[in-house]
A and B are shown apart, each in its own frame.
Chain A
Amino acid sequence: MADDGYQAQRSYSIASSPEDDNVVLTVERLDDGEVSPYLVDELRIGDELELRGPVGGYFVWEHSLGGPLLLVGGGSGVAPLRSMLRHHRALDSSVPTRLLYSTRSFRDMIYREELMQTGADAVIDIRFSLTREQPEGWDGYSRRIDREMLAEVAWPASERPLVYVCGPTGFAETAANAPVALGHEPDRIRTERFGPSGG
Protein backbone atom coordinates (compact mmCIF):
# COMPACT_ATOMS: atom_id res chain seq x y z
CA MET A 1 0.00 0.00 0.00
CA ALA A 2 1.36 3.40 -0.94
CA ASP A 3 1.41 6.45 1.36
CA ASP A 4 -1.71 7.77 -0.33
CA GLY A 5 -3.59 4.55 0.44
CA TYR A 6 -3.36 3.13 -3.07
CA GLN A 7 -3.16 -0.65 -3.10
CA ALA A 8 -2.22 -3.13 -5.80
CA GLN A 9 -2.25 -6.92 -5.61
CA ARG A 10 -0.35 -9.43 -7.69
CA SER A 11 0.32 -13.15 -7.54
CA TYR A 12 3.85 -14.50 -7.71
CA SER A 13 5.22 -18.01 -7.72
CA ILE A 14 7.49 -19.02 -4.88
CA ALA A 15 10.97 -19.84 -6.15
CA SER A 16 12.37 -21.17 -2.88
CA SER A 17 11.80 -24.62 -1.44
CA PRO A 18 10.08 -25.40 1.87
CA GLU A 19 13.55 -26.17 3.29
CA ASP A 20 14.94 -22.71 2.51
CA ASP A 21 15.22 -20.14 5.30
CA ASN A 22 13.63 -17.34 3.29
CA VAL A 23 10.68 -17.12 0.95
CA VAL A 24 12.03 -16.14 -2.47
CA LEU A 25 9.88 -14.57 -5.18
CA THR A 26 11.05 -13.99 -8.72
CA VAL A 27 9.75 -10.77 -10.25
CA GLU A 28 10.20 -10.07 -13.93
CA ARG A 29 10.14 -6.36 -14.69
CA LEU A 30 7.60 -5.51 -17.38
CA ASP A 31 8.16 -2.06 -18.86
CA ASP A 32 4.44 -1.35 -19.10
CA GLY A 33 3.65 -3.06 -15.82
CA GLU A 34 2.27 -1.27 -12.82
CA VAL A 35 3.63 -3.36 -9.96
CA SER A 36 6.74 -5.09 -11.29
CA PRO A 37 8.72 -1.88 -12.04
CA TYR A 38 7.96 -0.77 -8.48
CA LEU A 39 9.12 -4.07 -6.98
CA VAL A 40 12.26 -4.19 -9.12
CA ASP A 41 13.29 -0.52 -9.12
CA GLU A 42 11.71 1.21 -6.15
CA LEU A 43 11.33 -1.28 -3.33
CA ARG A 44 13.90 -0.80 -0.58
CA ILE A 45 14.94 -2.82 2.45
CA GLY A 46 12.60 -1.82 5.27
CA ASP A 47 9.63 -1.11 3.00
CA GLU A 48 6.52 -2.98 4.06
CA LEU A 49 4.56 -5.35 1.89
CA GLU A 50 1.60 -7.48 2.78
CA LEU A 51 1.97 -11.10 1.72
CA ARG A 52 -0.85 -13.61 1.62
CA GLY A 53 -0.12 -17.26 1.07
CA PRO A 54 1.15 -19.64 0.10
CA VAL A 55 -2.01 -20.46 -1.83
CA GLY A 56 -2.64 -22.86 -4.68
CA GLY A 57 -1.95 -26.57 -4.25
CA TYR A 58 -2.33 -27.43 -7.91
CA PHE A 59 1.09 -26.55 -9.31
CA VAL A 60 2.99 -28.36 -6.59
CA TRP A 61 5.35 -31.32 -6.68
CA GLU A 62 5.60 -33.39 -3.56
CA HIS A 63 8.03 -36.24 -3.25
CA SER A 64 5.21 -38.74 -2.70
CA LEU A 65 4.00 -37.98 -6.25
CA GLY A 66 7.21 -39.57 -7.56
CA GLY A 67 8.29 -39.27 -11.15
CA PRO A 68 10.04 -39.32 -13.47
CA LEU A 69 9.72 -35.57 -13.28
CA LEU A 70 9.77 -33.40 -16.37
CA LEU A 71 9.88 -29.64 -15.78
CA VAL A 72 9.38 -27.29 -18.71
CA GLY A 73 9.90 -23.58 -18.14
CA GLY A 74 9.75 -20.47 -20.28
CA GLY A 75 11.25 -17.18 -19.10
CA SER A 76 10.37 -16.35 -15.50
CA GLY A 77 8.24 -19.51 -15.51
CA VAL A 78 11.35 -21.22 -14.18
CA ALA A 79 10.55 -19.85 -10.70
CA PRO A 80 8.23 -22.58 -9.35
CA LEU A 81 10.33 -25.21 -11.13
CA ARG A 82 13.41 -23.96 -9.30
CA SER A 83 11.44 -24.45 -6.08
CA MET A 84 10.77 -28.08 -7.06
CA LEU A 85 14.43 -28.65 -7.97
CA ARG A 86 15.60 -27.23 -4.64
CA HIS A 87 13.08 -29.39 -2.80
CA HIS A 88 14.28 -32.41 -4.78
CA ARG A 89 17.90 -31.71 -3.84
CA ALA A 90 17.11 -30.91 -0.20
CA LEU A 91 15.52 -34.35 0.11
CA ASP A 92 18.41 -35.94 -1.78
CA SER A 93 15.70 -37.50 -3.92
CA SER A 94 16.46 -40.23 -6.42
CA VAL A 95 13.47 -39.33 -8.64
CA PRO A 96 14.88 -38.91 -12.17
CA THR A 97 14.31 -35.30 -13.15
CA ARG A 98 14.74 -33.23 -16.28
CA LEU A 99 14.34 -29.50 -16.78
CA LEU A 100 13.91 -27.93 -20.19
CA TYR A 101 14.32 -24.18 -19.83
CA SER A 102 13.73 -21.72 -22.65
CA THR A 103 14.69 -18.05 -22.64
CA ARG A 104 15.43 -15.47 -25.30
CA SER A 105 19.15 -15.17 -24.59
CA PHE A 106 21.91 -16.34 -22.24
CA ARG A 107 21.60 -13.03 -20.38
CA ASP A 108 17.87 -13.63 -19.80
CA MET A 109 18.41 -16.95 -18.02
CA ILE A 110 17.27 -16.65 -14.41
CA TYR A 111 19.18 -18.71 -11.80
CA ARG A 112 21.66 -19.62 -14.55
CA GLU A 113 24.66 -20.54 -12.38
CA GLU A 114 22.54 -22.43 -9.88
CA LEU A 115 20.78 -24.40 -12.60
CA MET A 116 24.03 -25.30 -14.30
CA GLN A 117 25.37 -26.59 -11.01
CA THR A 118 22.14 -28.47 -10.35
CA GLY A 119 22.44 -30.06 -13.79
CA ALA A 120 25.71 -31.67 -12.68
CA ASP A 121 23.67 -33.79 -10.23
CA ALA A 122 23.44 -37.39 -11.44
CA VAL A 123 19.65 -37.61 -11.29
CA ILE A 124 18.90 -34.10 -12.59
CA ASP A 125 19.36 -33.36 -16.26
CA ILE A 126 19.01 -29.76 -17.42
CA ARG A 127 18.68 -28.63 -21.04
CA PHE A 128 18.50 -25.06 -22.24
CA SER A 129 17.11 -23.40 -25.31
CA LEU A 130 17.99 -19.84 -26.31
CA THR A 131 15.41 -18.70 -28.81
CA ARG A 132 16.76 -15.37 -30.08
CA GLU A 133 20.43 -15.00 -29.32
CA GLN A 134 23.08 -17.62 -28.56
CA PRO A 135 26.64 -17.11 -27.33
CA GLU A 136 29.47 -18.39 -29.49
CA GLY A 137 29.95 -22.13 -29.18
CA TRP A 138 26.43 -22.64 -27.74
CA ASP A 139 25.61 -26.35 -27.80
CA GLY A 140 22.07 -26.20 -26.41
CA TYR A 141 18.86 -25.76 -28.37
CA SER A 142 18.39 -22.54 -30.34
CA ARG A 143 14.67 -22.41 -31.01
CA ARG A 144 11.26 -22.18 -29.39
CA ILE A 145 10.11 -25.31 -27.66
CA ASP A 146 8.31 -27.63 -30.07
CA ARG A 147 7.07 -31.21 -30.22
CA GLU A 148 10.34 -32.55 -31.61
CA MET A 149 12.35 -30.99 -28.79
CA LEU A 150 10.00 -32.37 -26.15
CA ALA A 151 10.16 -35.80 -27.79
CA GLU A 152 13.95 -35.68 -27.38
CA VAL A 153 13.97 -34.39 -23.82
CA ALA A 154 10.93 -36.12 -22.32
CA TRP A 155 10.76 -39.74 -21.32
CA PRO A 156 8.61 -41.94 -23.55
CA ALA A 157 4.90 -41.74 -22.67
CA SER A 158 5.11 -45.36 -21.46
CA GLU A 159 7.29 -44.19 -18.53
CA ARG A 160 4.42 -41.90 -17.45
CA PRO A 161 6.48 -38.89 -16.39
CA LEU A 162 4.84 -36.16 -14.33
CA VAL A 163 5.05 -33.00 -16.40
CA TYR A 164 5.01 -29.46 -15.02
CA VAL A 165 4.85 -26.62 -17.51
CA CYS A 166 5.17 -22.97 -16.47
CA GLY A 167 5.52 -19.98 -18.74
CA PRO A 168 3.75 -17.24 -20.65
CA THR A 169 0.38 -18.30 -22.07
CA GLY A 170 1.54 -19.06 -25.63
CA PHE A 171 4.57 -20.97 -24.42
CA ALA A 172 2.50 -22.93 -21.91
CA GLU A 173 -0.09 -23.97 -24.51
CA THR A 174 2.61 -25.29 -26.85
CA ALA A 175 4.65 -26.97 -24.14
CA ALA A 176 1.58 -28.63 -22.57
CA ASN A 177 -0.04 -29.72 -25.84
CA ALA A 178 3.11 -31.31 -27.27
CA PRO A 179 3.33 -34.09 -24.65
CA VAL A 180 -0.37 -34.88 -25.21
CA ALA A 181 0.31 -35.20 -28.94
CA LEU A 182 3.21 -37.52 -28.04
CA GLY A 183 0.81 -39.78 -26.15
CA HIS A 184 1.31 -38.56 -22.59
CA GLU A 185 -1.74 -38.67 -20.34
CA PRO A 186 -3.27 -35.19 -19.97
CA ASP A 187 -3.86 -35.73 -16.26
CA ARG A 188 -0.10 -36.22 -15.71
CA ILE A 189 0.53 -32.72 -17.09
CA ARG A 190 0.13 -29.64 -14.91
CA THR A 191 0.31 -26.16 -16.31
CA GLU A 192 0.72 -22.71 -14.83
CA ARG A 193 0.31 -19.78 -17.21
CA PHE A 194 1.08 -16.17 -16.70
CA GLY A 195 0.29 -13.30 -18.96
CA PRO A 196 1.47 -9.87 -19.93
CA SER A 197 -1.69 -8.74 -18.14
CA GLY A 198 0.02 -9.31 -14.79
CA GLY A 199 2.47 -6.43 -14.56
Chain B
Amino acid sequence: MDALDGNSIAGTLAAVFDTEMTTATGTCANCGSSGLVGEFAVYLRAPGIVARCRICNNVLMVFVDVRGMMCVDLAGLRDLRTAST
Protein backbone atom coordinates (compact mmCIF):
# COMPACT_ATOMS: atom_id res chain seq x y z
CA MET B 1 0.00 0.00 0.00
CA ASP B 2 1.33 3.42 -0.93
CA ALA B 3 1.94 5.77 1.95
CA LEU B 4 0.13 9.07 2.16
CA ASP B 5 1.62 11.89 4.22
CA GLY B 6 0.95 13.82 7.40
CA ASN B 7 -1.43 16.17 5.57
CA SER B 8 -3.96 13.35 5.44
CA ILE B 9 -4.24 13.22 9.25
CA ALA B 10 -4.23 16.98 9.88
CA GLY B 11 -7.75 16.73 11.29
CA THR B 12 -6.98 13.82 13.60
CA LEU B 13 -3.81 15.55 14.80
CA ALA B 14 -5.66 18.81 15.45
CA ALA B 15 -8.30 16.91 17.44
CA VAL B 16 -5.66 15.12 19.55
CA PHE B 17 -3.20 17.98 20.11
CA ASP B 18 -5.65 20.87 19.83
CA THR B 19 -3.21 22.78 17.63
CA GLU B 20 -1.86 22.76 14.09
CA MET B 21 0.55 19.82 13.87
CA THR B 22 1.45 19.33 10.21
CA THR B 23 4.09 22.07 10.53
CA ALA B 24 5.48 20.57 13.76
CA THR B 25 8.90 18.94 13.62
CA GLY B 26 9.39 15.38 14.84
CA THR B 27 12.66 13.57 15.49
CA CYS B 28 12.82 9.83 14.94
CA ALA B 29 13.88 7.93 18.06
CA ASN B 30 15.51 5.27 15.89
CA CYS B 31 17.62 7.11 13.30
CA GLY B 32 17.62 10.64 14.72
CA SER B 33 16.43 12.31 11.52
CA SER B 34 14.04 15.24 11.83
CA GLY B 35 11.13 16.01 9.57
CA LEU B 36 7.91 17.96 9.43
CA VAL B 37 4.87 15.96 10.49
CA GLY B 38 3.27 16.87 7.14
CA GLU B 39 5.99 14.83 5.47
CA PHE B 40 5.74 11.67 7.61
CA ALA B 41 4.72 8.55 5.69
CA VAL B 42 1.17 7.83 6.84
CA TYR B 43 -0.85 4.64 6.52
CA LEU B 44 -4.54 5.11 7.23
CA ARG B 45 -5.61 1.49 7.21
CA ALA B 46 -2.98 -0.10 9.38
CA PRO B 47 -5.46 -0.80 11.37
CA GLY B 48 -5.56 2.52 13.10
CA ILE B 49 -3.33 5.27 11.77
CA VAL B 50 0.41 4.70 11.58
CA ALA B 51 2.99 7.37 10.77
CA ARG B 52 6.46 6.18 9.83
CA CYS B 53 9.87 7.80 9.38
CA ARG B 54 10.64 8.45 5.70
CA ILE B 55 14.33 7.68 6.30
CA CYS B 56 14.36 4.45 8.34
CA ASN B 57 10.69 3.37 8.30
CA ASN B 58 10.51 3.37 12.10
CA VAL B 59 6.97 3.68 13.49
CA LEU B 60 6.74 7.23 14.89
CA MET B 61 3.10 7.65 15.83
CA VAL B 62 0.10 5.35 16.18
CA PHE B 63 -3.50 6.50 16.64
CA VAL B 64 -6.20 3.96 17.35
CA ASP B 65 -9.80 4.85 18.06
CA VAL B 66 -11.09 2.33 20.61
CA ARG B 67 -14.84 2.76 21.06
CA GLY B 68 -14.57 6.55 20.93
CA MET B 69 -11.38 6.84 22.96
CA MET B 70 -8.32 7.85 20.95
CA CYS B 71 -5.25 5.87 22.00
CA VAL B 72 -2.03 7.65 21.06
CA ASP B 73 1.43 6.09 20.95
CA LEU B 74 4.33 8.47 20.27
CA ALA B 75 7.11 6.19 21.51
CA GLY B 76 8.84 6.26 18.12
CA LEU B 77 9.51 9.98 18.45
CA ARG B 78 12.42 11.33 20.44
CA ASP B 79 11.05 14.84 20.14
CA LEU B 80 8.02 16.66 18.78
CA ARG B 81 7.94 20.44 18.54
CA THR B 82 5.26 22.69 17.14
CA ALA B 83 6.31 25.49 14.77
CA SER B 84 7.19 28.68 16.60
CA THR B 85 5.00 30.91 14.42
Contacts and interface: CB of A to CB of B under 8 A. Distances in A.
Interface residues of B, number: 22
A151 B11 CA distance: 35
Interface stretch (A51-59, A68-76, A104-112, A133-141): A51-59
Given A193-B8, A197-B44, A55 B3 contact: no
A55 B20 contact: yes
A192 B7 contact: yes
Interface string A12-37: 00000000000000000000000000
Interface in B1-35: 1-8, 10-11, 13-14, 20, 22-23
A195 interface: yes
B4 A56 contact: no
B7 A56 contact: yes
B2 A58 contact: no
A142 interface: no
Interface in A165-195: 169-170, 190-195
Contact of A58 (B1, B36, B44): B36
Interface of A: 9, 11, 52-53, 55-59, 169-170, 190-195, 197
8 contacts: A55-B20, A57-B20, A58-B36, A59-B7, A193-B2, A193-B3, A193-B8, A197-B1
A88 to B, nearest CB: 21
B59 interface: no
B6 A58 contact: yes
